[in-house]
Amino acid sequence: MNPRQHCMDSLQRTPPSVFEAALWISVEHDAQVKPDETLELIAQLQRRISAALPLLPAAELAQPLLRQMATIGFQQDDVAQPKPQVALLNKVVERRRGQPLGLALIALELARRLEIPLEGVNFPGHFLLRVPGADHTLDPFGGRRLYPKDCRELLLRQFGPDMPLKAEHMRTATPQAMIQRLSRNLRHLHQINDDLLASLKDANRVLEIGQANTSDYLARASLYQTLECPQAERFDLEHALLLSDDPVQRIRLTQRLVQLPSGRAVH
């Protein structure tokens, strides 16, 4: 199987292996990446963190786990012009720096191995963690407890006052949703770093996982436009038009479609 097939196969296992699925994305972008080496690093981290955890019931160990990760150097990579390495999981493990989702995936894998209950929360702009049934979430960076007021402040800082906190923001993230979010992050990172073909790989993966939205089709259409592939661009714009509920956006998409060449081209 190729790396993409390995990634999808990892998601379809019972139970799914999100961490391995994410590692195969790294392989898809760099054939020199060896998943077994990263898994061995995780095993070493597991032993080190396990020895440092307090003697508490498993349900109370999620926050100590995140604190131990911070103690040994796992933290946010907040450079002004981020590189794909802040999201590629093998790099996050090696550098101990990354985006919230990358650190959360490592924490979830360690929690799984240590039998600590922990789940992902697909919060907008900043992926979060939660002990199932808890009245608060946890920040992947150090394990700070976040209550609804804190989550509202997160939204305010990142999106402004026009985005209220909704119940859907606090939903448990499925394995597919986590890998799709990782793919969206990488699509953006590769694009802003001018690696359009790598970005296109990520854009294709987003759609292959399923439940793509208007923005996903528009993002890939933008890549095809830059790569001068008008027929592929047309395909994605037509799908975005079908999915869009915004009247203004629908008018703009229709105008853009009219401006595209109608003939077939070979690329």
Q: Where are the domains of the chain?
A: 3-170, 175-259
The whole-angstrom separation of Cα 175 and Cα 181 is: 10
Q: What pLDDT score was predicted for residue 266?
A: 42
Type of residue found at 38: T
The whole-angstrom separation of Cα 134 and Cα 69 is: 21
**Does the pLDDT value for residue 265 go beyond 70?**
no
Mean pLDDT across the chain: 94
Q: What pLDDT score was predicted for residue 263?
A: 57
Q: What pLDDT score was predicted for residue 153?
A: 93
pLDDT (mean) for 146-153: 94
Q: What pLDDT score was predicted for residue 267?
A: 42
- 178 touches 120 (CB < 8 A): yes
Which residue's entry shows tokens 């989702």?
101
Q: What is the pLDDT of residues 192-244, one digit of tens each?
A: 999 999 999 999 999 999 889 999 999 999 999 999 999 999 999 999 999 99
Sequence-distant (6+) residues with CB within 8 A of 95 are 77, 85
- Pairing mode of beta strands 119-121, 128-130: antiparallel
The whole-angstrom separation of Cα 117 and Cα 10 is: 21
The architecture in CATH of the region 175-259 reads Alpha Horseshoe (1.25)
CA–centroid distance for 156 within its chain: 21
**Does the pLDDT value for residue 264 go beyond 80?**
no
- 51 touches 30 (CB < 8 A): no
DSSP assignment string, the chain: --HHHHHHHHHHSSS--HHHHHHHHHHHH-TT--HHHHHHHHHHHHHHHHHHS-S--GGG-HHHHHHHHHHTT-EE---SS--GGGT-HHHHHHHSEE-HHHHHHHHHHHHHHHT---EEE--TTS-EEE-TT-SSEE-TTT--EE-HHHHHHHHHHHH-TT----GGGGPBPPHHHHHHHHHHHHHHHHHHTT-HHHHHHHHHHHHHHS---HHHHHHHHHHHHHTT-HHHHHHHHHHHHHH---HHHHHHHHHHHHHS--S----
**Does the pLDDT value for residue 99 go beyond 70?**
yes
Q: What is the pLDDT of residues 10-25, one digit of tens each?
A: 999 999 999 999 999 9
Q: What pLDDT score was predicted for residue 78?
A: 78
